[in-house]
Every structure is written in C-alpha cells, then in structure tokens.
Structure 1
Amino acid sequence: MKPFWIVFVVLVAAAGGGYYWWNHQAAAKSQGTEASEKAEGKAKGRKGRGGPVSVRTITPKRQPMPVLIDAVGTVESQHSVAVHPQVSGVLTAVRFKEGDYVKKGQVLFEIDPRPMRAAVEQSQAAVRRDEAQLAQARAQEERLRSLVDKDYITRQEYDVAATSAKSLEATVNANRAALDQAQLHLAYSRIVAPISGRTGSLGVRAGNLVSAGTGGSPLVVINSTRPILVAIPVPQRHLDDVRKQWGSLDLKVEIAADRGEQTLVEGRLIFIDNAVNPATGTILLKAEVPNEKEQLWPGQFLAARIVLRIEPDAMVLPEGAIQPGQEGPFVFVAADGRARVKDVVVDRQIGEQVVIAQGLEGNERIIIEVPPTLAANSPVVLAGESGRGKGKGKGKGKVNAESAPAGAPSGASEPATQEAAKTEERQ
C-alpha cells in the first residue's frame, strides 16, 4: 500500500504546481497587455498634444527709464502750533468747529473781556491824572527858574520843583506803559489763529475758566497742511547720488498711497540732514508738497519715490518674464528648440516693467507667460508655428516662421520644430 500512497501524493502535488503555474502566466500576460495598452495610449496622447510646450517670446527692449529711490515717508506739518490763552478768564465763545481749516488772524476763542476792559479804563484815568500833575509841576519849575536867576529864591527851592517835575514825568511814563499792557491783555481776550492750517480736537469748551500760560493742555492744535512735508529716511548708500543730483537741479519726489500704486501728488526735495543715523544707517530727506487738495495728512505713512535721473538706454522686460530662483532671479530663453535658463540681475522695477542690470545680451528670445510646467531644457515651440507630420508619428513637419519684432510674440524657426519632432520620435 505504501507505493500507492506515494504515487498519489506525487500526482496531487504535480497537479497543484501546474495549476499555480498556469494562473501565474495568465496574470502576467494580462498585466503586460494592460501596461502595453497604457503605454501606447500615453504615447498617442503625447503625440496628440504635440510634445513641445507652446510659448510666446519677446526680445528685451531698450528705452529711457528713470533711476529711482523707493522708500517709506512720513507726512509732517511744516508748522504745528498749540494754542494757549495769554490771559486768564472765562471762555465765552468758540468761533470755529473742530477740524475746520482756519486762516491766520481768524478769531478762534473769546474770553470775557470785562476785567481787561476795566483795567484799561483804570490805566487811562491814572495817565490823565499824572499828566495834569506833570503839567503843573513843569509850569512851577519854569516860574522858579526865572526867580532863581535873580536870586529871589534859593537854588534849593528851585531844585525841589525840578525834581518834582521829573518824578511826575516818570510816573506818567509808567502809567502809559501800564495802559499799553492793559490794552494788550484786552486784545488777548480774543484768541486768533497764529497760522493757517487745519484745527484738531478742542481741549476746552465755552464756559470753562482758562488760565494764562503753557502749563495746561492747549485749547486746540493747528497743523499747517498747505504746503506739507514728507520725511523720507533712505539708506546711506544713496547719499552721494542724491547730493550730486540735488546740487544741479530740483529733485522730483513722487508720493503714492502704497508702492506700485498711482502717484497722488508730486513735490521737490528741500532738505538733506547733516548726519547719518548710526542706529539705522539712513539719512533723512524731506520733500515739500503743495498739497492744495489736502491729499496728504500729518502722520500718514506713504510710499515715496525720488527720481534721481533718466537712464537713456535701459534694458527692460515685463514683470512676468522674471522668475524667482533659489540663487536669484532668472529668465527662460528659447534657443535651439529648448527652454534655456539664464540668470539675470534685476536693477529695479517700475510698475510692471523690470530693468535688467546684467545677464542678457539684448538679442535673446525671452519666454513670457511662462507655463507652470516649464522646466530647464524643456522642448518648446514658439507660438504661431504650424506643421504637418507624414506617416505615423515619424514625419518631419516643415514650418515657415518669421521673426517677431522686439517686444512682440515671435514666430518659430525650422530647426526648433525638427528638434521637437525628433524628441517626439524618441518618446
């Protein structure tokens, strides 16, 4: 019986191994077929999409561009005055509204004038009394002078009369000064605007007792706004350029609400500080702006742009052509049917235009509107190319292309299309 069971086990094992081998071969064949179909579909899909990426290019422009200094400026008043009363008394009237624009000499406040008017009248009475006494003393001095010359009276009697006249004269002068002071205090009961400008919030209302002097809070603060100043701290490396240009002409300063936005007003540079701030490494400049429409307000932070000069032949590219990189900005250049990477040095940006300092010759075809999938050495075809392939993906399309003018999308060249076709064949 043992040989029988041995033969039976061998036969079962052989059958199981054959079944497993047959299943494995079928699965492998099925997977190979699917992979082949997918690969063929992908290849056909790539051929259907055309392979190379279609791009638009321009050549760098040469044009005049301003040389600028961009900074953040702070608006400040040319004159700021805190109005304090110069006499004490009860505030009876406020002749303006908070925030009004007032002119120099305009009445702002009134203090009860009755005490000051009484003081004026008292001083006037004292002056009249002393003037009458002085007239009498002078007349007495004249009579005694003629008598002393004839020795009818003693010299001492005459000297007493002369001294009395001089004393009364001094008293009259003192009373006149007191009268002037009283009249001045009466004038101070009407508080007028010392400058033209915009008023702030009121520090006191009518009916309150105010005291002369500057110890307390001001009645109101007036800031001049026409014209107005913009304080602009700039890095010290710009100091030489600013001084050279400022010495030969007025430097224009453009003021905007934020960098890149439309210019609100223009002014001119009027001040360069006499020392660099050692804590920040900046030099303070100030520009004067007419501000007739009061677009600038004291305390505002604004974008300031100082126009140093005009560079007559700057190399310019649109902002979209510049790509950020870990080692600095770069551009894609279409050359030999490929997207080549070229590092550039950006000097400045003005609006949507970028001035290139280094990295380009000026005749390159710079790719603009860069597709997100574009990478270094990717095959590209210039927008506007068209071609027909012969055969099943092996034909070489023949293209006629013309060069685009500087700054406009360019056409394609025949070698670029042939290179793209070869790439497609290899895929």
Structure 2
Amino acid sequence: MNGTSGKCIPKAFLSVALILFLWGCGEKIQPGNKSAASAPAVKARTAVAEMSGQAVVHEAVGTVTARTKAVLSAKIMGTVTAVHVRESDRVTEGQLLIEIDPRTVSAHRKQAEAGLAEARKAYEAAVAARDSAASMAELAKATYDRYVNLMKNESASRQEFDEVAARHRQAEAGLNQAKAMVEAVSEKVRQAEAAVAASRVMDGDSHITAPYEGVITQRFVDPGSLAAPGSPLLAIRAVSGHRVDLILPEHLTPLVKPGLSVVLTIPALSQPKITGTVMTIVPFSDPASRSFVAQVDIPAVAGLQEGQYAKGRLEIGNAERLMVPVNALIQRGQLTGVYWIDPEQKARFRLVRTGSIEGSDIEILSGLKPGDRYILEPNAQIVDGALVEGLS
C-alpha cells in the first residue's frame, strides 16, 4: 500500500503543475481579432472581347522548282562519244552538249538512199511499160474501128471481127494495169523519199543540243555509255524563272483559284518573304495523301534555287473570329492564359486555347467568349484575385 501511494503522488503533482502553467500562459497572451487591411486596387488597361471579321488563312508547305525544265533523252542507239557539260554548268540555246556515235545513223541513211534509188528506177520502168501499153491500146483501137466499118459493108468475117475486138479489149486492160503499176511504184518512191528525210533528221539526233538557255542540273551518262532511244542523258532547267509547288488538302480545291495571291516564306533567302500568284491548279489529287498541288508563280529573287523549302499563306475567305492582342497572353510554363475580370472586378487567371496569329493579334479558340473583359497588358503587380481598376 505505502509503495503504491508513493508512486501516485508524483503523477498528481505533475498534472497540477501543467494545468497551472497553461493557465498562467493564458493570462499573459491575449488572443487578438485584428482585421486584415484591404489590398489597394491595381490599375490596368482592360478591353472587352468581341468577334471581328478576319481573313481565313491556310498555311501550306511547298518546294521551289524551275518554271521550265526538261530531261534530254537519246533518240537513237549508239555509244556516247563526248559529254561537254557537267552539273551546274550554264548553257546557251543550241549549245552542243553530247555527241553520240553516228555510224549507225549513217548506215540507216545509206540504206534509205539506196531504197530510194531502186524505187525511182522501178518507177521509170513502170512509166515505160505504161507508155508501151498505151501505144498498143491505140493501135488496137484503130484496128477495131476499121473492122467495125468493114463489118457494116460485110467485107470481113465475123471470126476476124471477134479476134480484133478481143485484142482491143486486151490492150485496154493492159493499159489500165500499166497505169496502176505506175501509181503503185510512185507511192513506193514517196515512201523511200520519206525514209531518206527521216534518216537525215536522225543525223542531227547524234548531236544533243540545249533547247534553251539554262543550267544543267543532272548528268546521267559519261563517254562510253550506251545511249538508247528514250534513255535519259541530261537534266536541264531554264533560267527564265522559278515557281513554288504548294501541297494543299483536297477540301480546299473549290477555294484556291488561279490568280489568288500567296505570301511565301523561303528561309534560305536574304529576303525571306515574297508575294506570288497561283498560276495553275494541277487537275488531280494524290490518293495517298488526299492533297493536290497549286503552282505559284514568283518573281525573280537572288538566291532562289530548285529544291528550297517554302511556306505559303493563302487567304481563302472571311469569318468571324475572336481576336485579342498577343500582349494580353500570359505564359506559365506550358500553359497559356489571360487575366479575365470577374463581376467583382477581380483578376482571374483563365486558360485559353489559341489559334493563328494575324499581325499583333492572336485568335482565341476557347477559354474566352465575346463580352468578357480582360487585361490588355498584365504586369507583375497583377495576381490572381487582385482587385482591378480598369483604365480606358
């Protein structure tokens, strides 16, 4: 008993001491009910979001290409004996570019000339045979006429008259046959003359010349290569100008017409922005990408080269859009927003989704609606929940 009560006395003493300590502290520290001072209103320029008529702009990518270009191919079979140009060489119209061994062409020409000579001799023979047949027919006709008179006077027998009439008909048939032969041989002569003319044209095909002033862009053969009809030899582009081929989605086909102005950006140029005009709409779509090509004519600009990257902006109509100044936007990491003024005149950070930029304005696709008031140029003093005093 004594041991147990001795242990309880210290515990009771500690509890009483703790209560007295807390009571003493309560008397020294009086709780306060001081009201927080109201934050002053922040002055800022505000504006009301509203819809406005804006051009509908579509951006497309494309490639700079030569306005006129060609692949020069062989027309005859033969060995390439000389190539006088390389890539990037500038050439003039009519300049000799490639030579092909002309021996095969020469053999064809000689063969055609021999055929023409043979046809002409056959024609001469046919004409002589026709003239002979004409003489025989004339004699047979005269004999026939005499026997007709003799038959009237009964001075010739019927047998003699029939023989003369048969020879007359035979002579007429022979003359007609001779005339037909002359016509047939005459046609062969014309064919042989055409073959000779073609072979003479082929003589020129052994020399490949530049069709216009331009620049060689590709070389496909070297001396010793075998050229065949249709095989490519050189690629050339004219120096007369360039165009940009823009790739557009097929749903824009009714909206893009020749004559439409296009603002082009070509980063490789010192003057990156130029204005072009839609020249041609390629009349078919790519079934794989569901797109079509618009050929845009562009002015001559220093530094243009085939294959350069280009980006075009096309105005394809007008629409009502909600636009705000770019300066009104606030970037918080990956988030974009504006300070919207609520009915209590307090600034509220509101996320927005943006669209295309037109000059100093940007399109708001969502997050702000017409009639909403927002801060034009937010600064560091403006925070979410701050009271705003709008300035005109």
Q: Would you say same fold, with TM above 0.5?
A: yes
Letter in 2 for 1:212: A
**For 2:218, what is the secondary structure of its paired residue?**
coil
**For 1:377, what is the secondary structure of its paired residue?**
coil
1:114-169 residue CA offsets vs partner (Å, 9 max, x unmatched): 55346435534553454355235314422431222213986387577556645543
Listed as ranges, the matches of 1:16-415 within 5 Å are 57=45, 59=47, 65-75=54-64, 81-100=70-89, 107-113=96-102, 115-117=104-106, 119-120=108-109, 123-124=112-113, 126-128=115-117, 130-151=119-140, 155=171, 162=179, 165-166=182-183, 168-193=185-210, 198-205=215-222, 207-214=223-230, 218-223=232-237, 226-234=241-249, 236=251, 239=252, 243=254, 245-246=255-256, 250-257=259-266, 262-268=272-278, 270-271=280-281, 282-293=290-301, 297-309=305-317, 316-324=323-331, 329-333=336-340, 338-344=346-352, 346-356=354-364, 359=368, 361=370, 364=373, 366-368=375-377, 370-371=379-380, 375-378=383-386, 403-404=391-392
Letter in 1 for 2:109: V
d(CA) in 2 for partners of 1:67, 1:96: 48
Letter in 1 for 2:196: L
Cα gap change, 1:185/1:270 in structure 2, threshold over 3 Å: closer, same or farther?
closer
1:43-83 residue CA offsets vs partner (Å, 9 max, x unmatched): xxxxxxxx879786464798874320123334456665432
d(CA) in 2 for partners of 1:320, 1:141: 102
Letter in 1 for 2:203: L
Shift of 1:197: 5.7
d(CA) in 2 for partners of 1:174, 1:274: 43
d(CA) in 2 for partners of 1:145, 1:229: 73
d(CA) in 2 for partners of 1:177, 1:235: 50
d(CA) in 1 for partners of 2:227, 2:250: 47
Cα gap change, 1:377/1:229 in structure 2, threshold over 3 Å: closer, same or farther?
same
Matched residues, number: 330
The answer for unaligned runs of 5 or more in structure 1 is 1-50, 383-402, 405-427
Letter in 1 for 2:228: A
Report if aligned partners of 2:49, 2:374 keep a CA contact under 8 Å in 1: no
d(CA) in 2 for partners of 1:60, 1:272: 45
Letter in 1 for 2:226: V
Greater relative contact order, per chain length (Cα 8 Å cut-off, separation 6+) = 2
The aligned residue for residue 21 of structure 2 is none
Letter in 1 for 2:264: I
Deviates more, 1:63-72 or 1:327-336: 327-336
d(CA) in 2 for partners of 1:343, 1:330: 4
d(CA) in 1 for partners of 2:92, 2:322: 51
Report if aligned partners of 1:85, 1:213 keep a CA contact under 8 Å in 2: yes
- State the identity %: 19
d(CA) in 2 for partners of 1:168, 1:273: 50
Shift of 1:86: 0.9
Report if aligned partners of 1:107, 1:190 keep a CA contact under 8 Å in 2: yes
1:323-380 residue CA offsets vs partner (Å, 9 max, x unmatched): 3579974212468775333455534213543134662556845242644x85411467
d(CA) in 1 for partners of 2:53, 2:92: 45
d(CA) in 2 for partners of 1:55, 1:301: 47
d(CA) in 2 for partners of 1:182, 1:303: 50
Shift of 1:229: 4.2
d(CA) in 2 for partners of 1:204, 1:53: 80
Letter in 2 for 1:110: E
Cα gap change, 1:272/1:175 in structure 2, threshold over 3 Å: closer, same or farther?
closer
Larger Rg: 2
Shift of 1:88: 2.4
Letter in 2 for 1:339: A
**For 1:305, what is the secondary structure of its paired residue?**
strand
